[in-house]
Amino acid sequence: MELNTIKPADGAKKPRRRVGRGIGSGLGKTAGRGHKGQKSRAGGYHKVGFEGGQMPLQRRLPKRGFKSQSLKFNGEVTLASLEKLGAAEVDLLSLKAAGLVAQNVKTVKVINTGSLSRAVKLTGIGATAGAKAAIEAAGGSLA
């Protein structure tokens, strides 16, 4: 095979449609647009979703809220799960390794559920006000 012998496959290239070039072409006179009406005129067509003046579907349906796509990157850890973990220092990687948060999580927050009796040092992890007070009361810290 040579570069100068390469051709497209049979039927791959069709000649462009030349409208309005006489009755012999099959697309003369009205050029395949039919007779009269908005769609037959140059520049005359409606916008997407237009229903001839009837209230369009996207306006007939009730408005609903949305689910933020950034929520899937946030994780939560309870004080009780930190207690079970048994580590003195906790960061995002150790939580992922323990399976407490998903692998695609980027930010983690400790919430005040359960109790904490050991001192735990948190690095790069947020905490709610109640959880922060419980961690510091147990002798731990947040960095």
pLDDT of 89-134, one tens digit each?
999 999 999 999 999 999 999 999 999 998 999 999 999 999 999 9
- On whether the pTM is more than 0.75, the answer is no
- Cα distances from 103 to residues 22, 42, 100, in angstroms, run 66, 56, 9
pLDDT of 1-26, one tens digit each?
899 999 999 999 999 999 999 999 99
Which residue ranges form the domains of the chain, and what is each CATH number? 18-47 (no CATH), 70-142 (3.100.10.10)
